[in-house]
């Protein structure tokens, strides 16, 4: 999932985990940028009590550095794998893959590391969302930033037009699924993300 600052990536990702927990699929949130106490406090505004889910063994928040995730690859799972087995996690969010990719200087090494990460996620039998920071609406630039083999690419927008900022969501790719070739209006409401399928956004 790609998007610029303020477009709703963290809320979208957290709702993905919350919906999983509500359906018997515990989740793990691995972040390089967000702080645990602040995130827990912010998510209460949507009625999501992350502390409660953590105490129930349904949710784990990991403040990791990109170097620590790199170590996970070297160890073949390490602490993360142990947590997954302990809580029987089925969903993972890594926020953001952009920070992780900066550890690797050349494109080949970067791609190999990303593929190794995906292999681990598949081994863990988890569904994952990886966020990517993107400051452009250009499809080619987004694809380059997410050039590794992902099953789907969701782009969130937060664009100012005529002095008003509008949020929107677009599915660029979803393997094995017919997708709408449209960009829909998206809002952040009290209960989380709301997509209006009746309102198509044109940023031109």
Q: pLDDT per residue over 56-114, tens digit each?
A: 999 999 988 878 877 887 777 788 889 999 999 999 998 877 777 777 777 788 778 88
Task: Please list the residues that pair with 159 across neighbouring strands.
Answer: 166
Please tell me the pTM assigned to this model: 0.87
Distance CA 51, CA 31 (A): 16
Task: Give per-residue pLDDT as tens, 157-199.
Answer: 998 888 888 999 999 888 888 899 899 999 999 999 999 999 9
Alpha-carbon dihedral sign for residues 141, 142, 145, 147: negative
| Preceding amide of 96 cis, omega within 30 | yes
Distance CA 201, CA 99 (A): 30
Distance CA 129, CA 96 (A): 9
Residue 144: per-residue pLDDT: 44
CA within 13 Å, CB half, 122: 9
Distance CA 126, CA 92 (A): 7
- Report residue 178 CA to chain centroid gap: 21
Class of domain 2-200 as given by CATH: alpha beta
Task: Please list the residues that pair with 193 across neighbouring strands.
Answer: 188
């Amino acid at each position: 999932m790609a998007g610029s600052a303020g477009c709703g990536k963290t809320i979208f990702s957290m709702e993905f985990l919350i919906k999983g927990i509500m359906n018997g699929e515990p989740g793990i949130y691995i972040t390089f940028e967000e702080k645990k106490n602040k995130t827990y406090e912010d998510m209460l505004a949507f009625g999501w009590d992350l502390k409660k889910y953590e105490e129930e063994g349904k949710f784990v928040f990991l403040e990791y550095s990109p170097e620590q995730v790199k170590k996970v690859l070297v160890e073949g799972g390490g602490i993360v794998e142990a947590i997954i087995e302990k809580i029987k996690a089925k969903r993972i969010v890594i926020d953001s893959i952009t920070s992780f990719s900066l550890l690797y200087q050349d494109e080949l090494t970067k791609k190999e590391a990303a593929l190794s990460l995906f292999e681990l996620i598949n081994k863990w039998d988890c569904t994952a969302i990886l966020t990517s920071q993107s400051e452009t609406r250009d499809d080619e630039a987004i694809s380059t930033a997410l050039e590794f083999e992902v099953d789907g690419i969701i782009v969130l927008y937060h664009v100012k037009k005529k002095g008003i900022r509008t949020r929107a969501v677009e599915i660029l790719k979803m393997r094995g699924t017919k997708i709408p070739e449209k960009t829909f209006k998206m809002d952040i409401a009290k209960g989380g993300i709301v997509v209006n399928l009746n309102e198509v956004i044109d940023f031109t």
